[in-house]
Structure 1
């Protein structure tokens, strides 16, 4: 097929279309806000969690962190035992962009840093399942054992896109991610990329590139 530039959009999920926040769970477990913020910044923090997005098992992650911080073992165990309580549903502004692109016939894909052990819940349960079923393909970091911003995961996403659109090139792709380093990594590989911090700004940029939003 002949592809104008750009014509394919790749979405990150968390922070763009889906609302995920550990605070939703831990405010039930740690009443003091200062203590809760410290725990999520220093114990069950993003650096620890993203290793599971890269393929480390939840059991190993929980056991190793609990061994280092036995005084917090019950809270560490709760992180994945009660992981679904961190999900807040879909994000309406991001979904409005998604809906408009889909209605305009734009091919939509997803590239997400997400544990292979927790992602099946989203695939199987509302309100996430109906959204996920609308993508042409979804690349999950935990299943690939690669995490953004590793350039290899973007190349793998492009390969998956080419299974649907063999002539697709990096310049045909737009990537939307709420983490700046992930957007910059895509841009370095020739993709167009949006650091998604303001849905109105994201929509405006897409319109500037000729997308139907």
Structure 2
């Protein structure tokens, strides 16, 4: 399904370059959304967010080794969790994610496509959405994949100097693995938040 999504139809709303908002939308959402589910959950995710942002600053490559270090903080685990070894089921069993000896390497190859390298690079909004959904649908961990997927989205944006002042559309919607339009919907939601962040930044700059 990943190969048939019309990624080239995604929005190109990130052409204006780096963006620093007046507030940290990712951290704000974690404190509100995850904090309501449990203080320890929010603390772990905030710790992982800080680690991933440090990784972007040092130019780290997005791969499973980076994610498992982050996931250790997210889950407050004693050590970085391994790639899952069993089949996974989500959405009440409606979606099934298989596993074979090539799954880990295939996952890393897909995550590497989040960069701008290549002859015809896709827009940042599309690459961030695709990397996020790769985590959702490869389902590399036994637990916490949705949180890891969100952090990957933030990582891909931050690596190119873009942060958002709101992320609610990116964490409240369920996407289906077998619907190619769902992938583009996520890219459009990222674009909506980008546009809102740029408007807010411009408004503050004109005051």
After TM superposition, the score normalised by the length of structure 2 is 0.30
Point out the structure with max Rg over C-alpha. Answer: 1
What's the TM-score once normalised by structure 1's chain length?
A: 0.29
Which structure features the higher share of strand residues?
1
Higher relative contact order (CA 8 A, sep 6+): 2
